[in-house]
Amino acid sequence: MSKHIIEFFVKKMVDSKDEVSVSETQSDGKHIFQLHVSSKDLARIIGKNGKTFKALRALVTLLGSKDSDLVLDTAK
């Protein structure tokens, strides 16, 4: 469910909606959500001084647990 909510918010912020995807993995007992976006939308996701990305990470923590994290990656 968290995966779909993250994807929903990110698609509202970017131009290349079809290149947005979120994958979910576990590593060392930690939930990791990997966010893939177009390189053109990278600055929009990071935001000024990283504020937008920090807000997305806070959302992931609220939706999941303290052992959740969000990783940003650009689509090739």
Nearest to 71 by CA among 51, 48, 46: 46
Instruction: Determine the Cα–Cα distance for residues 41 and 13; give it in Å rounded to an integer.
Output: 9
* 2-74 CATH: 3.30.300.20
Regarding pTM above 0.85, the answer is no
User: Residue written as tokens 């990470």?
Assistant: 57
- Predicted confidence at residue 37, as pLDDT, reads 92
- Predicted confidence at residue 60, as pLDDT, reads 83
User: Residue written as tokens 């993250």?
Assistant: 6
User: Within 10 Å of residue 75's Cβ, how many Cβ atoms?
Assistant: 15
- Predicted confidence at residue 76, as pLDDT, reads 53
- Predicted confidence at residue 75, as pLDDT, reads 59
Instruction: Determine the Cα–Cα distance for residues 21 and 35; give it in Å rounded to an integer.
Output: 6
Low-confidence ranges of the chain (pLDDT < 50): none
